[in-house]
């Protein structure tokens, strides 16, 4: 089995349009959640989100590209360019045949669906643009990445709701570890902050109208976000041999299914995924210093997640740190695990633990060290990243300091 290194990272999200800016926001505990700036906002009861502001696609793409790229693809490409540039890899030669891309997205081109349904239903048009289908399909971002970077190995997308990115990165990890790929671009993207995308979420009545406050007693729901993060997962020896900077090592991964309820989380399912990731990484629980929580800010998730962590770690649960950066960038749904992996890398590489902001009141059912409101300096050797999706699908990654 090969070891797996992370040699590049890129992102765009509500906090910043790149990794350095995002990590700075994490360190400062800055909130990227704002009033939404979208069409027909006045007909929404939820009017806040972790929206990417000051986004001008024409700065990054030409007109022919924009016709084919939904916003979720645009975000993915921008993040991938940053990640690949940092890695220093060039896939033009033989490496391209040994490299691929696995990306998570729950909704794919939701803005494209929304715009074109408007055109045919609301505006009564009987014709849509010829590229609607290739623009909205979930695999569009993966395919465009393969074309931009000449990735000719395995390429596909994964849709497991809020766990999509973690499932994608877990599969990429397994491919590099098994030797079926030398390098993989992986991560995820989501862009559903449009009228239809938010209206659908409103229906569930789990959204907050004012803020995302994970683990806080007065939390009142989740806040949607948008954006992408992409990483280069590379064979460790390959990275070492070429002198690449290794940001962190991906050490283990596990996925489980609750097989019980379509929306309510299960402590057992979450705990089995956490324990499974530790086992896969051959790491004992007391080595874990930090967990990037799923931490959605809903009543159900946060108490179930804390109970699962307490079950797996026993007394060590009181010593480790666990935080939810969704309080800052919102819940990126299928892209969320990817953006949150940045907080894991920051913890391992920079020794800074991102806080859970908006924390106001302790909840006895979430009685863990949630790093409230202020980032903390701490040296940690092993971290986990949790994702627990609607549908009862759980995916947990374990990372180790390089």
Partner 1 sequence: MAQTVKDQVVAIIAEQALLDPADVTLDSTLESLGIDSLGLVESIFAIEEAFDISVPFNANDPSESDFDISTVASIIAAVEALVAARPA
The 234-253 site mask, x for binding partner 1 (CB under 8 A), equals: --------------------
- Which residue among 67, 200, 300, 378 contacts partner 1 (CB under 8 A)? 300
If the CB atoms of residues 93 and 203 are measured against partner 1, the closer one turns out to be 203
d(CA 133, CA 386): 32
Under 8 Å between Cβ of 143 and 373: no
User: Given 167, 238, 294, 329, which residue is catalytic?
Assistant: 294
If the CB atoms of residues 109 and 265 are measured against partner 1, the closer one turns out to be 265
> Segment contacting partner 1 (CB under 8 A): 32-40, 157-165, 203-211, 368-376?
203-211
Interacting residues of 331 by C-beta distance below 8 A, sequence separation 6+: 50, 162, 212, 222, 223, 224, 225, 296, 297
d(CA 276, CA 285): 11
If the CB atoms of residues 43 and 242 are measured against partner 1, the closer one turns out to be 43
- Counting Cα atoms < 13 Å in the Cβ hemisphere of 9 gives 24
- Which residue among 47, 299, 316, 349 contacts partner 1 (CB under 8 A)? 299
d(CA 133, CA 109): 9
CB atoms within 10 A of CB 60: 16
User: Given 31, 144, 162, 167, which residue is catalytic?
Assistant: 162
Q: Is 17 a catalytic residue?
A: no
d(CA 53, CA 37): 9
Helices 336-345 and 164-178 pack at an angle, to 10 degrees, of 60
Strand partners, 255: 395
If the CB atoms of residues 203 and 243 are measured against partner 1, the closer one turns out to be 203
> Segment contacting partner 1 (CB under 8 A): 29-37, 139-147, 294-302, 372-380?
294-302
Q: Does the protein bind partner 1 through residue 203 (CB under 8 A)?
A: yes
Question: Least distance to partner 1 from the beta carbon of 394, Å?
Answer: 19
Q: What are phi and psi for residue 330, nearest 5 degrees? A: 80, 180
The 31-70 site mask, x for binding partner 1 (CB under 8 A), equals: --------------x-------------------------
CA angle, 384 as apex, 381 and 386 as ends, to 5°?
170
> Segment contacting partner 1 (CB under 8 A): 117-125, 215-223, 233-241, 349-357?
215-223
Q: Is 238 a catalytic residue?
A: no
> Segment contacting partner 1 (CB under 8 A): 97-105, 230-238, 258-266, 349-357?
258-266
> Segment contacting partner 1 (CB under 8 A): 156-164, 200-208, 314-322, 331-339?
200-208
Using alpha carbons, list the distances in angstroms from residue 37 to 44, 49, 92, 379.
Answer: 12, 9, 40, 39
Q: Is 162 a catalytic residue?
A: yes
User: Given 17, 144, 329, 331, which residue is catalytic?
Assistant: 331
Q: Does the protein bind partner 1 through residue 262 (CB under 8 A)?
A: yes
Collapsed DSSP state (helix, strand, coil) of residue 94: helix
Q: Which residues are catalytic?
A: 162, 294, 331
Q: Which residues bind partner 1 (CB under 8 A)?
A: 45, 203-206, 208, 219-221, 262-264, 298-300
């Amino acid at each position: 089995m090969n070891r797996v290194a992370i040699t590049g990272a890129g992102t765009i999200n509500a906090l910043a349009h790149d990794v350095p800016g995002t990590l700075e926001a994490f360190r400062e505990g800055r909130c990227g959640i704002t009033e939404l700036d979208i069409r027909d906002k006045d007909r929404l009861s939820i009017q806040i989100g972790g929206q990417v502001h000051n986004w001008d696609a024409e700065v990054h793409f030409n007109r022919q590209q924009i016709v084919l790229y939904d916003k979720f693809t645009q975000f993915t490409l921008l993040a991938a360019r940053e990640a690949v540039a940092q890695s220093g890899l060039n896939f033009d030669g033989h490496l391209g045949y040994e490299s691929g891309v696995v990306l998570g997205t729950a909704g794919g081109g939701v803005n494209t669906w929304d715009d074109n349904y408007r055109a045919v239903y609301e505006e009564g048009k009987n014709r849509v643009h010829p590229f609607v289908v290739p623009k909205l399909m979930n695999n569009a971002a993966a395919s465009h990445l393969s074309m931009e970077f000449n990735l000719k190995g395995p390429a596909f997308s994964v849709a497991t709701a809020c766990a999509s990115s973690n499932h994608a990165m877990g599969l990429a990890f397994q491919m590099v570890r098994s030797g079926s790929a030398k390098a993989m671009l992986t991560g995820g993207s989501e862009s559903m902050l449009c009228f239809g995308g938010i209206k659908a979420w409103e229906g569930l009545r789990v959204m907050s109208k004012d803020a995302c406050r994970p683990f806080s007693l007065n939390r009142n729901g989740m806040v949607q976000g948008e954006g992408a993060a992409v990483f280069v997962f590379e064979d460790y020896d390959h990275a070492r041999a070429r002198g690449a900077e290794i940001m962190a090592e991906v050490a283990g991964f596990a996925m489980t299914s609750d097989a019980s309820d379509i929306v309510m989380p299960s402590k057992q399912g979450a705990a089995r995924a956490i324990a499974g990731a530790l086992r896969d990484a051959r790491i004992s629980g007391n080595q874990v210093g930090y967990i990037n929580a799923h931490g959605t800010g809903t009543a159900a998730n946060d108490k179930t997640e804390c109970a699962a962590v307490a079950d797996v770690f026993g007394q060590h649960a009181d010593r480790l740190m666990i935080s939810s950066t969704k309080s800052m960038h919102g819940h990126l749904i299928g892209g969320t695990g990817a953006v949150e992996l940045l907080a894991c890398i920051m913890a391992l590489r920079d020794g800074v633990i991102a806080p859970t902001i908006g924390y106001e009141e302790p909840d006895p059912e979430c009685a863990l060290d949630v790093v409230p409101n202020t980032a903390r300096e701490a040296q940690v050797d092993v971290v986990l990243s949790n994702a627990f999706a609607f549908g009862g699908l759980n995916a947990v990654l374990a990372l180790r300091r390089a």
